[in-house]
Amino acid sequence: MAKISEMTQLSPTMSEGVLVKWLKKKGDSVGPGEILAEVETDKAVMEMEAFDSGVLLEIIAPEGAKLPVGAPVAIIGKAGEDITALLAEAKSRSTANVSTPAPVSSPSPAPSSIKKPDPETVAAAPSPSIEVEEPTPRESSVSRGLSSSALEGRIKASPLAKRLAEESGLDLSRVRGSGPDGRILKRDIENGISSAGISSSPFASANIQEEKLPISGMRKTIASRLVHSKTHQPHFYLDMEIDAEPLVHLRENFNSDLKESGEEIKLSLNDFIIRASALALLKVPEVNSSWREDHILKHGRVDIGVAVSIEGGLITPYVRNADKRSVLEIGKTVKELASRARERKLKPEEFSDGTFTVSNLGMFGIDRFAAVINEPEAAILAIGNVVSKPVVKNGAVVPGKTLSVCLSCDHRVVDGAVGAGWLEVFRNFLEHPLRLLA
């Protein structure tokens, strides 16, 4: 008996997906576990499997369609089977569900017997021999409600003329309008600028237009999760400055040794930071916890997320059991996860259910910042740039390198003293980085 195949929930946070590509075509035989199509979820492009055996009798959802979980996408059954009723059912269900990107339309112009050009287009094009500018709908309606005496003290000018006058610093009251009823037009402003010897703004003719950008599934999920986190998790922030010179030197020597031994990988400071975070979580396990409404769950594992910027948003793959991995293992794992994250090829289990997150913006030149906690974790560590500046050592001012970090904490789980204790342990590891190689 034929059945309707539906959009499958391919990740824990997925509520809708975009059908990127059909891998089966109408008439193909399919079986349970075979890949029907590729679907873009809120986090990655994933494979949607078939759950029934038979023939792909009909493809309901076209490529590019955005559908909620549970929406009909295809019909699978026996060859030659009558699916008229199922098609009708699928059509009625999909009418309200399927959405495809639609072009953004501009507001309709006011009715007029004269076709008038877009003011922005006029500004960007060479001056035409004839200029047509008419009152905006708002101006027309206001004017109709005013007496002639009330209009006498009001400067009448087209929106474009007003904008050009403002940008050039020209006083509209000194400009004589050549339009209907003395209305000031673009050409009047240009003549006024020329007469007054005012230099026209280089941006006056810029064709800058408003644009409505579609919201991707990933951006919707990011927005929803971050709003929920900031609303429901009482954040507080702890800043600390760390002597980064020992860590910088160790990394340089470590990478030099790796190069001589033939290793192709080059470790980043973030790899050492992840290792230090994992070891600090072992020593202060209260930070490696989550709020569970009726209890606090102290995790029996250390899975550290690494915030990775990808096209359209942000994703956090996790280094599992980071406390049991060497710095070199962490470096290789992070590089591989980040690469697949940018290709949208991560599996759901690779970017969910972590215990702590590190977000590093140092490579973008950011000295310090505070991050939003990745719920349901209880803390996130924000890493800034290594800064070269004078520091005091042994009572003397000497050149040094510092690293600013900020620990965002969920106050329901982590108190100030606990968070400060974790940061102190973390700092000791970074300022004595050979301990990270043990």
**What is the fold of 217-437?**
Chloramphenicol Acetyltransferase (3.30.559)
Find the DSSP H helices in 14-147: 84-94, 119-124, 137-144
- What is the predicted pLDDT for the residue at 14? 83
What are the backbone dihedrals phi and psi of residue 241, each rounded to the nearest 5 degrees, phi first?
Answer: -105, 130
Rounded-to-integer distance, Cα 285 and Cα 198, Å: 68
Catalytic residues: 411
Please, what is the end-to-end C-alpha distance for the chain in angstroms? Answer: 62
CA 60 to chain centroid, in Å, comes to 31
Q: Is 377 helix (H, G, I), strand (E, B) or coil?
A: strand
Please give the single-letter amino acid code of residue 83. Answer: I
CA 109 to chain centroid, in Å, comes to 34
Query: Among 1.20.910.10, 4.10.320.10, 3.20.20.70, 3.30.1330.10, what is the CATH number of 119-196?
Result: 4.10.320.10
- What is the predicted pLDDT for the residue at 389? 94
Residues of the chain with CATH 2.40.50.100: 3-94
- In tens digits, the chain (438 residues) has pLDDT values of 888 999 988 877 788 888 989 999 999 999 988 899 989 887 788 889 888 889 999 999 999 888 899 999 999 998 888 888 888 888 888 665 544 443 333 333 333 333 433 433 333 333 333 343 444 433 333 333 333 333 344 688 887 788 788 877 788 888 888 887 788 888 888 887 777 665 544 444 455 678 888 888 788 888 988 999 999 999 999 999 999 999 999 999 999 999 999 888 999 999 999 999 999 999 999 999 999 999 999 999 999 999 999 887 889 999 999 999 999 999 999 999 999 999 888 888 899 999 999 999 999 999 999 999 999 999 999 999 999 999 999 899 999 999 999 999 999 999 999 999 999 999 999 999 999 998
Residues of the chain with CATH 3.30.559.10: 217-437
Residue 160: CB atoms within 10 A of its CB come to: 20
**What is the fold of 3-94?**
OB fold (Dihydrolipoamide Acetyltransferase, E2P) (2.40.50)
Residues of the chain with CATH 4.10.320.10: 119-196
164: left (phi over 0), alpha (psi -120 to 50) or beta: alpha
Provide CB contacts within 8 A for 310, sequence distance 6+.
Answer: 341, 342, 344
Q: Is 46 helix (H, G, I), strand (E, B) or coil?
A: strand
